Amino acid sequence: MIDIDWRQVFSQIALYFGAGLIAVVCGFPLLWMVLTSVRPDRDILSPAPKFWSFEYHWEHYRNLYNLTDFHIYFFNSITIAGTATLLTILVATLAAYGITRFRFGGRETIAGGMLFTYMFAPILIIVPFYILMRSAGLVNSKLGLVFAYTTFSLPFSMWLLRAFFQSIPIDLEEAAMTDGASRVKAVALVIVPLALPGVIAVSIFTFIVAWNDYLFARVLINDNELKTLPIGMDDLYNATVTDWGMMMAGGVVITIPALVFFILVQRYLIAGWGAGAVKG
């Protein structure tokens, strides 16, 4: 007789059931979005949703491009998020390096202060921020948004990079310097390559903050030509009778860059966010 450990079997079944449930709950809405975006309207607008229908077309994507300014919004979002990401990497790397490698008064206070501002929500400061930007002439400009996103992702980015820099032994940098490198070269050739996972995690974080933001763009941008994807999409949704196929096509287009980025660097991201989530 074969001895079956029923508890073992049961727990295995429960495990795979749970895993399946997670996959369905997290994955199905996205799958449904993709399906809706490629289906003809008569399939979309059917009282009983069709699960097994294999008629696909790209009509909604074509409409999105031809009938709306979606491509303008897309371009705006890419340039703004890209610039904010580069700027954040630069500023946060300098700051995190300065804080980990140089002794100076008040550096712990500064690090703590950064962590504190990480908890700030944009809604807290949106009014004075708007007034500030208005007096600087940065309302209705991409630069204003770049500043907003850079500043808001800085605290977390610095915190994360600081942890990465701390994990790189100072010996390596000193070895490079005794090998004849200037400090700048030592950092560029030895430290930055080793902190790359951290830099990538920070860049993804910033990119997503900028890519997803609604409030700053809503308040700072009026011109249609300058709208980013989130407000463009929101306005599109509110403007007309909803064309669900086209809205879902838009959703897919907005989600893909974030998701692709995410899948490419998932490994670094989880390591980084894990550290950030526990400690930050």
Partner 1 sequence: MAAIELRNLSKHFGDVPAVRGIDLAIEDGEFIVLVGPSGCGKTTTLRMIAGLESVSSGSISFDEEEVNRLPPRGRDIAMVFQSYALYPHMTVFANMAFGLRLSGVERAQIRERVRAAAELLNISELLRRRPRELSGGQRQRVAMGRAIVRQPRAFLFDEPLSNLDANLRAQMRVEIKRLHSQLRTTVVYVTHDQVEAMTLADRIVVMRDGVIVQSGPPEEVYRRPVDRFVAGFIGAPKMNFLPARLVAENGALSLQVGEDGQAEIRLPSSDALAGKIGEEVEIGLRPEHLAMQTSGEGIEPGRSFPFPVEVVEPLGAETLVFTTISGAEVVARCDPGLHPRPGDRFTAVVDTAQLHLIDPENGRVLAR
Partner 2 sequence: MAAVLPGQVLAIPVRRRARPNRPRRLPESTWGYLLILPAVLLVLGLILYPVVYSGWLSLHNKHAYLPIETFVGFGNFASMFGDGEFWRSIKLGAIYGIGSVGLQILVGVSAALLLNETFIGRTFIRGVALFPYMVPTVVVVILMKWILNDAYGVLPYLLKSIGIGEDILWLDTGHVMLTVILISTWTFFPFVVIGTLARLQTIDPELYAAAKVDGAGVVRRFIHVTLPQLRNVLFVVILLRFMFMFTKFDVIWLLNGSSGVGYYTRTLPIYTYIKTFGQLQVGAGAAMSMFMFLMLVCFAMIYFRVFRRDEGL
Based on CB atoms, which residue is closest to partner 1, 186 or 217? 186
Pick the piece of the chain touching partner 1 (CB under 8 A) from 5-13, 58-66, 173-181, 264-272.
Answer: 173-181
Name the residue nearer to partner 1 (CB basis): 3 or 171: 171
Q: Closest CB to partner 2 among 190 and 247?
A: 247
Binding mask 48-67 for partner 2 (x = CB under 8 A): xx------------------
Q: Which stretch in 91-99, 148-156, 167-175, 209-217 sits in contact with partner 1 by CB under 8 A?
A: 167-175
Query: Where in 225-254 is the site for partner 2 (CB under 8 A)?
Result: 229-231, 233-234, 237-238, 244, 247-248, 250-251, 254
Following DSSP, what letter does each residue of 108-119 receive, concatenated? HHHHHHHHHHHT
Cα(229)–Cα(206) distance, rounded to whole angstroms? 16
Q: Does 259 bind partner 2 (CB under 8 A)?
A: yes
Rank residues 143 and 189 by Cβ distance to partner 1 and give the closer one: 189
Give the Cα separation of 17 and 216 in Å (integer). Answer: 41
Measured distance CA(219)–CA(217) in Å, rounded: 5
**Token pair for 119:** 């908890």
DSSP state of 69: S
Q: Which residues contact 210 (CB under 8 A, 6 or more apart)?
A: 77, 80, 81, 84, 85, 145, 149, 153
Rounded to whole angstroms, the Cα distance separating 168 from 180 reads 20
Q: Please pick, from the candidates 2, 128, 171, 239, the single residue that binds partner 2 as defined by CB under 8 A.
A: 128
Please give the residue ranges that form the binding site for partner 1 (CB under 8 A): 169, 171-172, 174-183, 185, 189-190, 193-194
